Amino acid sequence: MRKISLLMVGALMGAGAAVVVTQSPLFTTTRAVAASAETYRQLNLFGDVFEKIRGDYVDVPDESKLVESAINGMLTSLDPHSSYMDAKSYRDMQVQTRGEFGGLGIEVTMEDGLVKVVSPIDDTPAARAGVLANDLITHIDGEQVQGLTLNQAVDKMRGPVNTTVKLTIRRKGQSDPVEVSLTRDTIRIRAVRSRTEGDVGYIRVTQFNEQTFENLKTAVEKIAAELPGDKLKGYVLDLRNNPGGLLDQAILVSDAFLDRGEIVSTRGRNADETQRFNAKAGDLTKGKPVVVLINGGSASASEIVAGALQDHKRATVLGTRSFGKGSVQTIIPLGGNGALRLTTARYYTPSGRSIQAKGIEPDREVLQDVPDELKGKDETKGEAGLRGHLKNGEEEASGSSAYVPTDPEKDTQLKAALELLKGTRKDAATTAEKSAVPN
In order, the DSSP letters of 351-409 are TS-B-TTT-PPPSEE------GGGTTTSB---GGGSTTPPP-SS------B----SSGG
CA-atom Rg of the chain in angstroms? 24
How far apart, in whole angstroms, are the C-alpha atoms of residue 222 and residue 215?
Answer: 11
Cβ contacts of 218 within 8 Å, gap of 6 or more:
192
Using one digit for the tens of pLDDT, what is the confidence trace for 195-227? Answer: 999 999 999 999 999 999 999 999 999 999 999
Cα angle, residue 196 at apex, residues 194 and 197 outer, rounded to 5°: 120
How far apart, in whole angstroms, are the C-alpha atoms of residue 126 and residue 107?
Answer: 10
273 vs 189, which has greater pLDDT?
A: 273
Hey, what amino acid is at 155? Answer: D
Helix or strand holding residue 65 (H, E): helix 63-76
Residue 421 · residue 429 · CB < 8 Å: yes
Segment 163-190 shows an average pLDDT of 92
How far lies 136's CA from each of 102, 105, 119, in Å?
Answer: 21, 15, 11
Q: Which pLDDT value is given to residue 35?
A: 63
Segment 343-369 shows an average pLDDT of 96
Number of neighbours of residue 331 by Cβ within 10 angstroms: 22
Segment 3-11 shows an average pLDDT of 32
Residue 120 · residue 130 · CB < 8 Å: no
pLDDT band, residue 34 (cuts 50/70/90): low
Look at residue 385 and tell me whether its pLDDT is greater than 70: yes
How far apart, in whole angstroms, are the C-alpha atoms of residue 249 and residue 211?
Answer: 8
How far apart, in whole angstroms, are the C-alpha atoms of residue 52 and residue 57?
Answer: 7
Share of the chain above pLDDT 90, in %: 68
How far apart, in whole angstroms, are the C-alpha atoms of residue 243 and residue 211?
Answer: 16
How many Å is the maximal CA-CA distance in the chain? Answer: 80
Count of residues for the chain?
439
Burial of 342 (0-12, 13-18, 19+ CB in 10 A): buried
List, in sequence order, every residue forming a beta bridge with 327; answer none if it has no partner.
346
Q: Which pLDDT value is given to residue 113?
A: 85
Look at residue 1 and tell me whether its pLDDT is greater than 60: no
pLDDT band, residue 53 (cuts 50/70/90): very high
Q: Which pLDDT value is given to residue 10?
A: 37
Q: Which pLDDT value is given to residue 28?
A: 41
Taking Cα atoms as reference points, which of 154, 74, 142 lies closest to residue 341?
A: 74
Q: Which pLDDT value is given to residue 425?
A: 35
Taking Cα atoms as reference points, which of 358, 386, 379, 209 lies closest to residue 297?
A: 379
Burial of 349 (0-12, 13-18, 19+ CB in 10 A): buried
219 CA to centre of own chain: 20
Q: Highest mean pLDDT: which of 106-110, 189-193, 280-284, 369-373?
A: 280-284
pLDDT band, residue 7 (cuts 50/70/90): very low
| Alpha-carbon dihedral angle through residues 316, 11, 439, 317, given to the nearest 10 degrees | 10
Residues that are catalytic: 300, 311, 325
List, in sequence order, every residue forming a beta bridge with 108; answer none if it has no partner.
117
**Mean per-residue pLDDT over the chain, rounded:** 86
How far apart, in whole angstroms, are the C-alpha atoms of residue 262 and residue 250?
Answer: 13
Number of neighbours of residue 54 by Cβ within 10 angstroms: 12
In this prediction the pTM is 0.80
Which of 10-14, 72-76, 336-340 has the lowest average pLDDT?
A: 10-14
Using one digit for the tens of pLDDT, what is the confidence trace for 235-283? Answer: 999 999 999 999 999 999 999 999 999 999 999 999 898 999 999 999 9
Torsion region of 364: left, alpha or beta (phi above 0 gives left; psi -120 to 50 gives alpha): beta
